[in-house]
Chain A
Amino acid sequence: MTSKFYKRLFLLPGLLLLIAIIIFPLLFTIRVSMANWNVSHSGLDWAGGANWARMFHDVNFWSSLFRLFYFSFITTTLQYILGFTAAMYAWKGFASRRFFRVLWLVPLMTTPSVMAIVWRSIFREDIGAANGLLSKIGIDPIAWSTQIFPATVTITIAEVWQWTPFMFLILLAGLLSLPKEQFLSAEIDGATPWRTFWSITFPLMAPISIGAIIIRLIEASKIFDSIFNLTSAGPGNSTETPAYYLYTRGLREFQISYGATMGLMYLILAILTLTILGQIFARVSKPRGI
């Protein structure tokens, strides 16, 4: 039937283009993870599961995964809370909100790798702005890059600055498209803003929130630019995430096979996590009576 032709016409070009671009890298990664391709030996020989066995005993890999839980979950949560708050204020309520909408969107438009350079200049211990300002109010300079906690803080700050506008934008767009009727009836019932938020706004925003959070988690898990420029995973490897560890082993030390192995493991774990999260979210956000 002709309608079948059109049905395919819509999906297939995009899907096939994507598959065409991604299929070789994926198959290559799978194959190379079973080879022994490194700096002194390049080529697709057969190493079986040696890389996989090595990975399961690689403490650095697993601890970087646990660290990722901190970075992706904490930063995403912060971004969601701050982004939602900002979206609520920019949604309605104060006069010059259009100006602030633009201002609060700007970080999203900036290049993360470039901003990471700016952040590094801010957190330079000797001549950076952060310590400069702190000394003005009488606080001793902080060793931002050589202590674990401050180093973690700097990365969190950079990530929150960069990506909160992403949440802000999607949530604001969602808020602006909400049906007005329910709010009117809530107003007539005399519900407090706080109750209106929890019983109407928040549930209505659940689907949009989930979509935004999932995408942010995916992106946050690849966190690289800020770590690369700000701390280089230091001090020690205390701010090392899988994306950075993969980069070090795979590209800097040119252990291609081992990097590929970890990449695949990471892909499997990420898909598992996202599937489970998707299930949980779907259950939590089942429409409830309002």
Chain B
Amino acid sequence: MKGSTVNLDLRSVSVDTETEVILKDISFKFEPGKIYVLIGRTTSGKTSLMRTIAGLIEPTDGEIHLGEERLDEVPIWDRGIAMVYQQFINYPHRTVLNNVEFPLLRAGVSKADAKAQALAMLEKVGLSEFKDRKPSQLSGGQQQRVAIARALVRNTRVILLDEPLMNLDYKLREQLREEFRTLFKGTADSVTIYATTEPSEALFLGDELLVMHEGRVIQHGKPDFVFENPSSIDVAQIVNDPPMTILDAEIKDGKVNIGNLITFPTPAHLKSEKDGKYKIGTRASEVILGGSESNSEEGTVSLSEVSGSETLLYVKLNVGEVVLQLEGIHDYQIGQAVTISLAPNRIFLFNMDGTLCAAPGN
């Protein structure tokens, strides 16, 4: 069965319960050797999609093919799919080594081979010295490494990773993210699907990005392309953290006018757009603090929070609330007056129905 052309092919997969739609008409062809990142908010259907592929949820409609095989008709235990959960799930009553051996033994690998392969995999994830411990005697990061070792050791055709870094602290996340790239690049025969809510992980790990929203895939493509050219406001919000600020605007007489308070001459990349009402978007990292020209407005800080090595500032303006990301750690009081200005050449322009009209490009 193994070969480089075993594609995972979803054909109009839908899942719904009596009361709500979980997945709606998803069609996509996944190729082996690539890392596909599913990005979306918490309830966007990422986990449901993975569970459907794994067989833990039965699709109400559609077909799933893996190479020649009709995967959705195969019971979970014969699908040969590995999955890593957001929680650190290992068998608590088995040692680390036995945990990693288990899937191999189940797959019919001989005892000696299973042990050798498991040890090699533990070496890869840097856990050799902990092989005789129980998972509960390890730190969260180490437990998740065991889970990943268990998923990778079998060399399955499909590997699903459901927000594996979610429950780890910031530093560990960056470290593991780094390791993932090398770990998963070595799996040329496998389709790797990785779900996350973090744009930075998606940009760092993904060969291909699928943006999910309300049970649908609303855009897919190379991560940096999607990042630069979000097809809609929803995508723009999802692939930016903090989410993109969206404001109502009007283009008229060669000027962009935001609520009659902020105005600036239409920048070059928007010159070809017709006059009319639009929505504009701006990334938090591209909003400028200060300025005194017509493209600025004074507002008050409604919230200030430190995230890693950056400070996020939520500023209430008359035109709406703007999120602003500053390098370094700064101290702002709630209610403090600040002036905000926009960078005209970094503006995203959306039609009133939310679809992308023009992006600033690189």
Measured CB to CB, the residues of A under 8 A from B are 1-3
| Distance of A109 Cα from B329 Cα, bound (Å) | 65
B320 on the interface (CB 8 Å rule)? no
Residues in B whose Cβ lies below 8 Å from that of A3? 75-76
Residues in B whose Cβ lies below 8 Å from that of A1? 58, 75
5 A-B contact pairs sorted by A residue (CB < 8 Å): A1-B58, A1-B75, A2-B75, A3-B75, A3-B76
Residues in A whose Cβ lies below 8 Å from that of B76? 3
Nearest-Cβ distance from residue A6 to partner chain B, whole angstroms = 9
Residues in A whose Cβ lies below 8 Å from that of B58? 1
Nearest-Cβ distance from residue B75 to partner chain A, whole angstroms = 5
Nearest-Cβ distance from residue A110 to partner chain B, whole angstroms = 35
Nearest-Cβ distance from residue B80 to partner chain A, whole angstroms = 16
Nearest-Cβ distance from residue B172 to partner chain A, whole angstroms = 22
Residue on A nearest B78 in the bound complex, by CB: A2
Residue on B nearest A2 in the bound complex, by CB: B75
Measured CB to CB, the residues of B under 8 A from A are 58, 75-76
Residues in B whose Cβ lies below 8 Å from that of A2? 75
Nearest-Cβ distance from residue B177 to partner chain A, whole angstroms = 29
| Distance of A3 Cα from B58 Cα, bound (Å) | 11
Nearest-Cβ distance from residue B212 to partner chain A, whole angstroms = 26
| Distance of A99 Cα from B85 Cα, bound (Å) | 43
Residues in A whose Cβ lies below 8 Å from that of B75? 1-3
| Distance of A3 Cα from B76 Cα, bound (Å) | 9
Nearest-Cβ distance from residue A2 to partner chain B, whole angstroms = 5
Residue on A nearest B75 in the bound complex, by CB: A2
Residue on B nearest A6 in the bound complex, by CB: B75
Question: Which 5 A-B residue pairs are closest in the complex by CB-CB distance?
Answer: A2-B75, A3-B75, A3-B76, A1-B58, A1-B75
| Distance of A2 Cα from B74 Cα, bound (Å) | 9
| Distance of A3 Cα from B73 Cα, bound (Å) | 11
Residue on B nearest A3 in the bound complex, by CB: B75
| Distance of A2 Cα from B58 Cα, bound (Å) | 12
| Distance of A237 Cα from B58 Cα, bound (Å) | 62
Residue on B nearest A5 in the bound complex, by CB: B75
| Distance of A1 Cα from B59 Cα, bound (Å) | 13
Residue on A nearest B55 in the bound complex, by CB: A3
Nearest-Cβ distance from residue A4 to partner chain B, whole angstroms = 11
Nearest-Cβ distance from residue B54 to partner chain A, whole angstroms = 13
Nearest-Cβ distance from residue B161 to partner chain A, whole angstroms = 24
Residue on A nearest B73 in the bound complex, by CB: A1
| Distance of A2 Cα from B76 Cα, bound (Å) | 10
| Distance of A220 Cα from B76 Cα, bound (Å) | 46
| Distance of A227 Cα from B58 Cα, bound (Å) | 57
Nearest-Cβ distance from residue A1 to partner chain B, whole angstroms = 8
| Distance of A1 Cα from B78 Cα, bound (Å) | 14
Nearest-Cβ distance from residue A9 to partner chain B, whole angstroms = 14
| Distance of A65 Cα from B2 Cα, bound (Å) | 73
| Distance of A223 Cα from B314 Cα, bound (Å) | 68
| Distance of A232 Cα from B280 Cα, bound (Å) | 88
| Distance of A1 Cα from B58 Cα, bound (Å) | 11
| Distance of A62 Cα from B93 Cα, bound (Å) | 55
Nearest-Cβ distance from residue A7 to partner chain B, whole angstroms = 12
| Distance of A37 Cα from B75 Cα, bound (Å) | 56
